[in-house]
Every structure is written in C-alpha cells, then in structure tokens.
Chain A
Amino acid sequence: MYRHPRSGTKPKSWFERSKGQQLLQQQQLLVKAHYPCLAFQVDSESGRMLLEGDFVLKADCGILTTIRIRIRFPSNYPSSEPVAYDVGAFFPRDVDRHILPSGGFCLWLPPCSPWDEADPNFSLLRFLDEVTVFLERQLVCDATGGKAWPGPQYKHGKYGYLDFMLSILEGNEEHLNALLPVILGKILPGRNEVCPCGSQLKYKRCHAGRVEHIVGRIGRDTLDFFFKDSGKKDNSQAQRSLGDERKSA
C-alpha cells in the first residue's frame, strides 16, 4: 500500500532504497575491478552519491597521467545518467574542448547518449570508458597544440541538435528546412496529409516516424529551450536563417 511520506521527511536517495543498495554493491565491485582508483562516497553537502578519484591514463610508452575526476549521480539514478567533472582543473574549461565552466564534461549530445537505464552496470562501465576516451582526447588535443578537437564532435548548442536532426534525415538539408517547423511543433500535419518534405507521399508513409524519433530523443522541453525563438513570425525565413547560422557555427 502506498503511503505518502510524512511532511518534512526527505525522500530517500536511490542508493538508500533496497534496490538501489543492491545496485550500489554491484557497481562498487564493477568499479573496483575496472577503475580501482575511484571510490563511491556520499557528498555531505548535497547528500548525493559521488564516484571520485583518479583516472590514470597510460601511454604505450608507459608514462602515466593522473587526472582527478568526480562523477555525480542524479537523484533518479539509474533513470538518468551521471555527470563527470574535472575537479583538479587539469584541462582548460573551454567549451571548444567540451568542458563547461563548472568542469563538467559534454561527453555526447544527449539524444545520442549510449546510457541504457535497463542495464545500469553495462551503462556505468561504458560511461567510465567514455570518460577515459574523453580524457585521452583531451591529452591528444594538448599534444597537438590545444586547438583542434580530435575526432567527431557536434556543434555547440542548438546547432549540435540541428546536426543530430540532419543525421536522422540522412543529411538532406532541404528536408530539414521543410520539417523543422513540424519538429518544433509549429506545424502539425495530419498523418494522411502530404509530407512537408515535398515528396507527395502521405506524411505517415514519409517522415512521420523520423520526426517522432527526433522529438522523442531530444525531448519537447529541450527543443523549446533551444528553439524557442525559431519560426515565431515567418517560419520559412527562420528556417533559412537557421540553416545559414548552422553552416557558419
């Protein structure tokens, strides 16, 4: 029987619940085996679970580079993924190097996250491995002069999301321009209407699935946050300007 928590009682964190305790034990073993210089601990101020310690990156020639990292777990873990921070300010806090002013890492575009809440142990190990690769890329960036980010990356802010949309639309910029108002919810075509992309096919047989996928992956709130000013007055003009901006970003 469900009971309301007593007023004034703080809700239990994920690791305080019995299922969470079990998960924590499993993940402690996982971390000990693969990243033994990291340890779980509760942040006394926020009451959140942290995974903190050294990432030790080994070059082929045997030189070790030690980087102090803190990983913060959200209160709804494992439904949401953790966030990693460079607490020792080992690298410059530079958005072009995908490090926020807080020291947080932008490991991936959120809709492209490999995080799978159904398999939190696999997901945490993948997350730690992605942090390792991210740190290695930072060291590569340092080695090559600190200017060029090695490997693929999304553009900053909304332009990164536009790139993601474009990748789902197989790189067709005309389709993106035509469908962006639909993605942003400014136009709501009927499923049996002609698809806005100009294919003359019914929307449901053309781009309906991809648009739903894009909206589902990015989330309506995120779309509203990044594109709130887009297409307010004149959609077509807004789309053109977005396309131009994205190219120059």
Chain B
Amino acid sequence: MSWNYNTSLNRVEKHLDNMGEIEVEKLVRDADLNSLLSETTCRDIFGAHVYVDVPNFSDLATLTSEGEDYRRVIQALHLYEREVARIVEGADVFDGVRIHFQGAKLHALFFRPIDNAEEIATRAVLLQMVLRHFVCCVFNPEFPKLPNLSVSGGADIGSAVGTKNGHKGDRELLFLGAPANYAAKILTGTDSLRVTTAVYEVLPETLQDYFTAVEDDRLDVTVYEIGDITTEELDQLLSEHDIDWDREASLQRLKDDKLIYPLNRIEYSDAEVHIDIDALGITNNKRVLAASVFGDVSGFTRYIDRTMADDDGKAALRVLHAVRKEMSAIVRHDFSGIRVQFQGDRVQALFHMPKGDEKRIAARAVDTAIALQSTMELVIKKLLPEARELGMATGVSVGTTLVSKLGTRGHRDRICIADAVEEAARHQEGSAGGEIAVPESVYEHLEEELQKLFVWNKDRGLYIGINLTQDRVERARKAVLFKQPVYVASGAAGASVSSQPTPGSRSFVPSSSFGY
C-alpha cells in the first residue's frame, strides 16, 4: 500500500493519451448541464454559485449518542437534503442546478435566464432566504428534538468553467473559477447569509435594502449580509420574482418522507468490511472511525481564470482532469480509500478500517497526503510544465464519521459528516501549496521519523509538513540505517541502498565519514 513514481507517471500519461480534444465554449443558450457537460465538453457559464450549510449537522453526527437520537439525526439529514434538492431544482420554484451536497452543505448554481445578471443574482439571494426560512419555520418544528439549527449561506456571481468527471456511474458536475470558490469562502459557519460585492451590485434596489456591508477579515474584502426578514416580506419578494415556493407543500413532503422512512427503517452500523459507499442509502448508513483527507490544487482558480481570459482554458482543463484522475487513483488504488467526491479542483477522501485502528488509519491518511504532494510535484509538473505554478494543499483529521449516500433517486451524493470532516477541510483551506496540515490527534500516531518532518505551527495549532514528497519521506526513514550493514544494488536502473538484501546486492557496514 504505497505510492510509486513509475505507476503514477504511467497512469497520468495514459490519462493524457486517452483524453479527447477539450472544447470550451461560452454557454449561450439554456441547456441541461448534466446532459451537456462532459470531461471534454466544457462550458464557460455565467452564473451565481450558492452555498448553504446547516453546520449543526456535523456536530450532531459527531456528538449524538448512539441509538434512536442518532437515527433521528440521519433521518433529518436525509429528509433535509431531499427537500432542499426539490426546492432548488423545481422548475416552478428556483429552477436551479443542485451541483451536490458536501456533507450538509449545498452547492447550487443559477444560470437562467442566460446572462441576465440581475435575475440570476436575485435567485441566489432568494434561495438563501427561503432555505433559512425553511429550516427555521418548517424543518426544525418537524424535528423538535433537534436543537435550533442555524443556516450559513454565501453567493458569488461571474463566469466559471463547467465540466464533469468522466467515470461511469460516478459522474459529478465540476465548476472551476472564482465565483464557485468565493461563494464557499465567504461562508461563516454561523447563522449568516452573505453575498459578494459582485452579487450585491447587480441586485434590484428592492433587495439591496435588506443588506448591510460587513468586512470579512479572513479574506480582507467587503461582503454584504442579509438582515432579518419577515415571512410577509419573504412572500412578497418571492411573488415579485415569480418564485413559486409553497411552504405547506414542503411541509407535506417532509411528513410524507417521514412516513416512508420512519425511524425504525433508518439503520446504521460500524463497518465490518470495507465500506462500499455506493451501496449505502437512507436505510443503510455507516458510523465509523475514519480519517478525512482534503487535497486541493492550490492556485488552480487563479490559473484557470487567467487562461480563460486569454482564451486558452483548454490547457488548464487538461491539467485539471489529469490531476483529478490521478488524485482519485491514488486514493482508491494506492491506498484503498474512498474517493468521496470532487469539489471543483479538490478531492475529498475517507479512510477507515473495519477494526477501527486509529493509528493505521491516521498513518494511511498522511501517506495519501504525501502521495498527492508527490504526484503534483514530481509527475504532473514533469508531464505538464504549464502546471508549474500549481501546488497541492492537504488537510487531514480523524474522528467518528457518518458515511452515507443521500438524495433523490438517480441523483444521490456520497456524504461524510463529522466534525473531523469539517476540520480536515479547514486545515486544507488554511494551507498553502506544498503544505500538509495535521492536528495533534493525527500527528501522535505517526512514526517517529515521519513526525520529525512536521513542524508545530503555534498560530494554527497544527503540525505542518512542507514539500513532503515520497522520496524525502523514505529517506527520512533511512536515517537510522547506516549503523548496520547495508545492501547496495546497482546497474542500468540506478543504484539503491537498503537494509534488506536484494538480488545481486552487496553488503557492508558503511564507513564512518570523516571531516578532514
């Protein structure tokens, strides 16, 4: 279970050889993006990207004690996402695109009417308002045993490139560009709905009145926060903008779903064998000790935005698909992990073991992070020199995680929910290219020689490994090798030094070096 340079090199070369001619055009007419987009058929889509999260679900999945309460959390999560998907995609409602759920976090896109910035931005704002109202006034009362849920939202508008990963039966829409990124970045994780200046500026004045400007210290930008709004005001706004959301119908669908999926049908268990995430669903969930890994191609948003401005997005997409496929191969084939989902240019992975061996789980997650870093630095940059400005930023965390696949038939998302998942994502988001960020709980499980390669960052409260490639890690492990006999093998393929005999190797105790 390890990463190998030649295997990775061959895989990426094969990905590149088999990749068809990439076509990137501006989307000029309405289309079903799920049918239109593919790995090679990409579109530059002007739209508003919206993220809406209910952060409580991570805490609930982590802290709720096992039994009926835990089943209720699972039931609530499933039903929440089913209804939210209907609200987003309903032709009479928001007529948007539900890209996916990242745990309990919705990523949606509005691009209709084509190039109509005001209308698109309006929908992005109204969706946030509706979902906050839905959670507070419809969903929460239907689940009175849950705590008061908060809603965190963010939206940005602009052009992003839409594409799709090409794996059969495992296809996901991917969006690359600043708006897809910023909409997520302005989320606070607390009860607030925000939009970027770009969204605010194209809103009709009647909507702008509901916003106040605030400074986002993390990003050093001004964003606009939606203030309180009454039910009457919301209904008025929905009516003005032809959004036909019926809260009574939403409530009825929730009640119907509760009858179809009562608590006694919701099951969860630990994993006795390796999880097949695609076999999971509302009645079959897993609660496992697992490590989450997020690997992000840092600098990619800037790279694709610049290449798109120069009318040369094809090269960037070629890089993306090569990196993406290789990240997936590393997770699944090299380290037997679960590739949960792609989120634009980042991959989310999960590692568990049937017996819940935390030490081995943590070590494997960190080995995977090192492999992702190695591929970016040694393989991708060798084969695709145009990727030289990119890096790999990785975050890791371990904890009890709810694993499932949820949504509506034919459109279900793999989800992993836990505080550990959110932590791993945060650790990655705070990391620059070349960094692997791990908390103390992961660090303490690493072997001593590997620990020495991580440096404690007091400000972040994390251990950071910088530019850790597989060869460097292997060599760090060899630091204790030279006091005993070593085996040297050499020939046309190069020379190697190891502690174990290999065919044709010569053994001796290395001389003690001397400084003249």
Inter-chain contacts of B470 with A (CB < 8 A)? 59, 61, 63
A240 vs chain B, min Cβ distance (A): 24
Q: What 1/0 mask marks residues of chain B from 455 to 491 whose CB sits below 8 Å from any chain A CB?
A: 0000000000000011111111011111100101011
Interface residues on A, range: 35 or more
Distance A80 CA – B473 CA, assembled complex (angstroms): 38
Contact B495 A132, beta carbon cutoff 8 Å:
yes
Distance A144 CA – B490 CA, assembled complex (angstroms): 25
Which partner residue on chain B sits nearest A59 by CB separation?
A: B471
Q: Cβ of A36 < 8 Å from any Cβ of B?
A: yes
Inter-chain contacts of B480 with A (CB < 8 A)? 150
Q: Cβ of B259 < 8 Å from any Cβ of A?
A: no
Choose among A55, A108, A143 the residue with the greatest number of B CB atoms under 10 Å from its CB. Answer: A143
Q: Cβ of B511 < 8 Å from any Cβ of A?
A: yes
Say what secondary structure dominates the interface of chain B: mixed
A118-143 with Cβ < 8 A to chain B: 125-126, 128-130, 132-134, 136-137, 139-140, 142-143
B512 vs chain A, min Cβ distance (A): 4
Choose among A63, A95, A152 the residue with the greatest number of B CB atoms under 10 Å from its CB. Answer: A63
Give the segment of B3-11, B100-108, B347-355 that binds chain A: B3-11
Contact A59 B506, beta carbon cutoff 8 Å:
no
Contact A132 B490, beta carbon cutoff 8 Å:
yes
Contact A112 B511, beta carbon cutoff 8 Å:
yes
Distance A155 CA – B513 CA, assembled complex (angstroms): 9
Beyond A60-B498, A139-B475, A140-B475, is A129–B6 a contact (Cβ under 8 Å)? no
Q: Cβ of B493 < 8 Å from any Cβ of A?
A: yes
Which of A35, A130, A140, A155 contacts B490, CB < 8 Å? A35
Inter-chain contacts of A113 with B (CB < 8 A)? 511
Contact A35 B495, beta carbon cutoff 8 Å:
yes
Q: How many residues of B contact A (CB 8 A)?
A: 44
Q: Cβ of B497 < 8 Å from any Cβ of A?
A: yes
A-B contact count (CB 8 A): 159
Beyond A65-B471, A137-B482, A144-B479, is A157–B516 a contact (Cβ under 8 Å)? yes
Contact B492 A154, beta carbon cutoff 8 Å:
no
Which of A61, A112, A132, A156 contacts B474, CB < 8 Å? A61
Contact A152 B476, beta carbon cutoff 8 Å:
no
Which partner residue on chain A sits nearest B507 by CB separation?
A: A129
Contact A106 B478, beta carbon cutoff 8 Å:
no
Inter-chain contacts of A62 with B (CB < 8 A)? 4-7
Choose among B2, B476, B512, B515 the residue with the greatest number of A CB atoms under 10 Å from its CB. Answer: B515
Can you list 6 A-B pairs with a CB-CB distance of less than 8 A?
Answer: A129-B506, A132-B488, A137-B482, A150-B479, A150-B480, A151-B510
Which chain A residues have a beta carbon within 8 Å of chain B's beta carbons?
33-36, 55-65, 95-96, 98, 100, 106-110, 112-114, 125-126, 128-130, 132-134, 136-137, 139-140, 142-144, 148-157, 160
